[in-house]
Chain A
Amino acid sequence: MTAVIHAASGDVDPEFRLPTHGLEAAAARLALAQARGRQAHASLLTGPAHAGKRRLARWLAQAMLCLHPSAGEPCGACRSCRLVFAGQHPDLMVAASPLKVDSTRQLLADLALLPLESPRRVALLADIDQATPGAANSLLKTLEEPPSRAVLILTASQPERVLSTIRSRCRIISVRPPGAVIVAELLTRLQDVPPDAAMALGRRSGGRLDWALAELEDPAREQERIEGLLLLERLLTAPRSERLRSAPEIARRTDALDALLEGWIGWWRDLLLWRSGLPDAVVNRERSVSLATFAEALSPAAILSMLSLTEDALRRLRANAAPQLVLETLILEMPS
């Protein structure tokens, strides 16, 4: 579906084809540095997950590899740009994520060669915060003294989990999501999403275009989100014994936990908005009926406390706490 955004032709890797929609400010800053010949040998793009870091990283790589850049921006038409779009550029190396030590070493060895077709060799290392310690350490030497024509572009959604020795060797660029209003506008303009639905999706995405696009592309995610909310509502009305029983079961779905808790945080926020008399601002409109019921039953203090507890739980999960323990604590704290 992303191909709609840019009239794509032939075998195009859609992710490469997305321009810098919603990230214009960061892109302009990078282009300026680029045009003045002040590009850093290593950049670390930080920002929330699905904020468009990887998209911007690829755009930056394309700008660095482009044979006829204008004002630091890629031309989009030269052989180099075409190869980047097709995912076939010989001087662009994209590391598989999460980074492992063997593939990183291989990539760094490739990076030590001089460029084949472009003025530089660029390596894209996404989610450096997820890298194994060995992989992260193997990068240090190259980050410290990179080969003269090599450029590394790293991304991380949790920069505090990146080795400080990596952070200190990179130019840090924070990628700020464009915000719900702009996302909604883009969704309407580019993907013909009706304004109402676009605004709801924009809010739900937390103003992150890539998150919204991913949900548009994959209806299963929407389904999963609603099921997650139903689960939360069920838990709130269930007796303690049943709640405790369900914790290990939920904890087993390790891959979906992050999204689940993000959904719960949104739901608690909606409840608070509803309770404060702002029912139009809620994100999870399809749950209005139950939001109304719960808003009546719970005090603002209880809602606020649950919101912050859920946020804490998500933070702990991301910091690698045991999922079952985190969930048990959270679920038992829920008001009955």
Chain B
Amino acid sequence: MKSERGIYLLIGAFFFLIMVIYFLWSGEAGGSIMLFAAAGLGIMPGLYFAWWAHRMPPRPEDRTDATLSDGSGPVGTFPANTIWPFVLGMGAALTALSLVFGVWLAVVGLAFIISTALNVSLESRRGGMV
């Protein structure tokens, strides 16, 4: 995690430096703010990885003495097959089309979207597909 941290923080530091130079040179606030946010694009994940590097032991890929077997085991928790992204897409499409055909279609579309939100939550509750 420490190498990821370093990469992101370096990107952030670079944009911060550019921001300081830009601001001192131009004295213009709008662009400086965008550059400041660009620095944040590096600093935010950088600090996130730094926090995780702090709260977990080094992964096998962080150690030089790791063996292949150290990296074995489950990779992660993945969602099972589920119908709700499809329903959500239907709802979003219908809601967008309501701009053309009228508000009544948004009612149908929002019904799809709301039922998706509910059922995705309840899927985990029922212990079915997560």
Do A and B assemble together? no
